Amino acid sequence: MTYRMKIDDQDVTLDIVARRPLLRARVGSDEWQVAESPVAEAVFEISLNGRTHRGLRCAGSARTVHVWLDGRVYIVELPLPAQGVRSAASAANEIRAQMPGVVLAVHCAGGEAVAAGAELVTIESMKLQTTIVAARSAIVDQVHITANASVARGALLVSFRRETPEP
Amino acid sequence: MFQKVLIANRGEIACRIQRTLRDLGIAGVAVYHHEDRDAPHVLAADEAVVLENDVPTAAYLDHAAIIEAARRTGAQAIHPGYGFLSENAAFAEAVERSGLVFIGPDSRVIRLMGDKIRAREFAAAHGIPVAPSAMLERSLQDFLERASGIGFPLLVKAAAGGGGKGMRIVRTGTELEPSVRAAAGEAQRYFADGRVFIERYIEQPRHIEVQVLGDGRGGVVHLFERDCSVQRRYQKIIEESPAPAIPAELRDAITGAATRLASAARYRNAGTVEFILAPDGTFYFLEMNTRLQVEHPVTELVLDVDLVAEQLRIAAGAPLSLRQDDLQPAGHAIECRICAEQPARNFLPATGRIALLRLPAGDGIRFDSGIRAGQTVTPAFDSMLAKLIAHGRTRHEARIRLVSALRQLIVLGVPTNIEYLMRVLENAEFAAGRVHTGLLTQEAARLRQHPPTSEDTAAVILAAALSQPDFRQHSFGMPEPYASIGSWHN
């Protein structure tokens, strides 16, 4: 699958060439062997063909990520949700926090019928905002958190009823 | 000395003034619009008073509300900072009438210097060189004839002007009349005053200004000059002191002219006399700013003075604490203005939330800021966020320190001109001190951002994509939470 992104208004494509044994990605016309070390807060460390790049990143407005690398700030526009990079909750009957963070907003309520793609919860984690969307249409059974709450990784956020909503 | 002072401003300058108040043991009162309720200048003050207004900038221009805030909090004086009400004669007068002290000059002097035509006449009458010029006095035809007599190129300027508004460069006789009409129309729209005048246009001029302090009784000292030639869209972005490559006699002539003007006006407060310096060494009076300047820190660093403290002492009626003979500049200082803007899009102002802020530190580094992480930069106010200033033993050292500090300064979440400033400071012409007001236009091609290398592009694209847990999940097809925690290449 090709992800169409923009870096400072310039179009760039990203393809995953291989996942195993090591990740290979093609950015534009160049292919790279990619490894990532998790680093605290907004810091990232990504190695490309064995060379390490260390920088900072944070969520910007709308679908942008601001990245600082080697004295330069880049604004990256991410693909739109329809193009497939938006978070989709799994088909399971509950949604759990993928990372420790703070709940910024709750977009659904208990008893509400939500369509596939509907926004459920926005979490800020390591200065990055992630909006979790419904993977399928469902009826929300219960919302287990409120806005501004801190959540640990794996914390239950939203549970769904077993039945599916009337079409 | 005052016990309590109200600061009628916001942003970095309000924080800067607050710092001196604290140093002198004076309580500081901030005023703010609701949109600024969490701004650093509010948090830094001892007391804060909200100014009710639908329009944020209008709140900081509300004479009555600000004077009332001062009275209610028991402040004895009002410091206007720069911009907003700092050069508003009616406000200064209202403050004086209310029995409070306006930290600035007499309203009469503000009015004189605020009118470019009258200020020029005043300067000329006191032997300060002014550029050959023509005023619109009798008929337009007469004006155009006299203007042509000066010799092209000419500059059409608005009497009430500033910031390049109402300004036109005219190179031929046929352009003259349409340019005068256009400039007058623009001046009418921006300043509600359509009066224009014409003066000789100096090619590749430098903008040199002299910092003065006056006691209001004719006593004046000058604090040497600043070079503010590096401008974009008629606005300064890099300023330095001393001005590079100025012979001692020329420096003496310019600082002497500034001192004479301030003394003749019986100037009280810190003030700045601006000049245009031609490549052949002739210089002309431009205008006088009757307030603290944005770029005052470079003067403070080379002379080891606190200009805000001097303003406060003068306003409290004390004699000048500095003697001309004691003022000897040491080293060199350069300031750059950090603005929320996009240099690649003709310096278009930018907005956004400052998600991450890393401040520079180091020998000779000063950061005057009115921002904090988490703050939202809105289009409601000026795009200048902060000023970064470096002091060194030489211009070279100051410049290298400033570049290093700019490299350390990270603002993420809102686009800024930080990288552009680094390129200007590293530009060969700037490094050589060959500055003039057209420098950024002349060097535009060399100042353009290079496209990133393919490796940097890949690193940035992957850093952005991998910040999205959903991207990990879709790309690697792994169940959450494992896809999110950085160990997906198992």
pLDDT tens digits for B300-322?
999 999 999 999 999 999 999 99
Is B479 in Cβ contact with A36 (below 8 Å)?
A: no
Is A84 in Cβ contact with B416 (below 8 Å)?
A: no
- Asked if the ipTM is above 0.90, the reply is no
DSSP 8-state symbol, B293: -
Spatial distance between the Cα atoms of A47 and B252, rounded to a whole number of angstroms: 58
Which candidate from A7, A38, A86 shows the least CB-CB separation from B485?
A38
Spatial distance between the Cα atoms of B294 and B163, rounded to a whole number of angstroms: 14
Whether residue A152 is predicted with pLDDT greater than 80 in this model: the reply is: no
Whether residue A123 is predicted with pLDDT greater than 90 in this model: the reply is: no
The residue that leads in pLDDT, B183 or A135, is: B183
pLDDT mean over A43-72: 93
In order of B2, B11, B13, B137, B308, the CA distances from B25 in angstroms are: 9, 21, 18, 53, 14
Q: How confident is the model at residue A88 (pLDDT cuts 50, 70, 90)?
A: very low
Say if residues B209 and B299 touch (Cβ distance below 8 Å).
no
Compute the CA torsion angle B410, B412, B414, B418 (nearest 10 deg): 20
Interface test with A, best of B425, B455, B461 (most A CBs within 10 A): B461
Q: How confident is the model at residue B474 (pLDDT cuts 50, 70, 90)?
A: low
* Chain A residues 79-108 with a CB less than 8 Å from chain B: 84-88, 90, 96-99
List chain A residues with CB under 8 Å of B455: 30, 32, 48, 51, 53
Interface test with B, best of A34, A44, A52, A157 (most B CBs within 10 A): A44
Shortest CA distance from A127: residue in chain B: B355
Q: How confident is the model at residue B475 (pLDDT cuts 50, 70, 90)?
A: low
In the block, tokens 């290079």 appear at B450
Shortest CA distance from B414: residue in chain A: A60
Is A90 in Cβ contact with B479 (below 8 Å)?
A: yes
Spatial distance between the Cα atoms of B361 and B341, rounded to a whole number of angstroms: 23
Which candidate from B422, B461, B476 shows the least CB-CB separation from A12?
B461
**Listed range (A49-63, A128-142, B99-113) with the worst mean pLDDT:** A128-142
Spatial distance between the Cα atoms of B292 and B79, rounded to a whole number of angstroms: 10
Spatial distance between the Cα atoms of A138 and A160, rounded to a whole number of angstroms: 6
Which residue(s) pair with B214 in the sheet?
B220, B269
Q: What angle do CA B362, B366, B367 make, to 5 degrees?
A: 110
Whether residue A87 is predicted with pLDDT greater than 60 in this model: the reply is: no
pLDDT mean over B34-62: 94
Q: Annotated catalytic residue: which of B16, B291, B313, B423?
A: B291
* Chain A residues 107-126 with a CB less than 8 Å from chain B: none
Is B465 in Cβ contact with A5 (below 8 Å)?
A: yes
Decide: helix, strand or coil at residue B88: coil
Say if residues B467 and A44 touch (Cβ distance below 8 Å).
yes
Shortest CA distance from A22: residue in chain B: B489
DSSP 8-state symbol, A71: T
List chain B residues with CB under 8 Å of A46: 459, 462-463, 466
Quick one: which of B256, B252, B258 has its CA closest to B212?
B258
Which candidate from A30, A98, A128 shows the least CB-CB separation from B480?
A98
Q: How confident is the model at residue B184 (pLDDT cuts 50, 70, 90)?
A: confident
Whether residue B86 is predicted with pLDDT greater than 90 in this model: the reply is: yes
Q: How confident is the model at residue A166 (pLDDT cuts 50, 70, 90)?
A: low
Whether residue A89 is predicted with pLDDT greater than 60 in this model: the reply is: no
B291 labelled catalytic = yes
- pTM assigned to the model: 0.83
Whether residue A40 is predicted with pLDDT greater than 80 in this model: the reply is: no
CB atoms under 10 Å from CB of B149, counted, come to 9
Whether residue B217 is predicted with pLDDT greater than 70 in this model: the reply is: yes
Tally of residues, chain B: 490
* Chain A residues 27-66 with a CB less than 8 Å from chain B: 27-28, 30, 32, 34-38, 42, 44, 46, 48, 51, 53, 55-61, 65-66
- Where does A51-118 show beta strands of DSSP type E? 51-59, 64-69, 72-77, 87-88, 94-96, 101-106, 113-114
Q: Residue B465 is inside which H or E element, if any? A: helix B454-466
Q: What is the mean pLDDT of chain B?
A: 93
Nearest Cα of chain A lies from the Cα of B434 at a distance, in angstroms, of 26
What pLDDT score does A128 carry?
62
Who contacts B175 (Cβ-Cβ below 8 Å, separation ≥6)? Answer: none
What pLDDT score does B480 carry?
40
pLDDT mean over B141-168: 85
What pLDDT score does B137 carry?
76
What pLDDT score does B477 carry?
56
The residue that leads in pLDDT, A89 or A127, is: A127
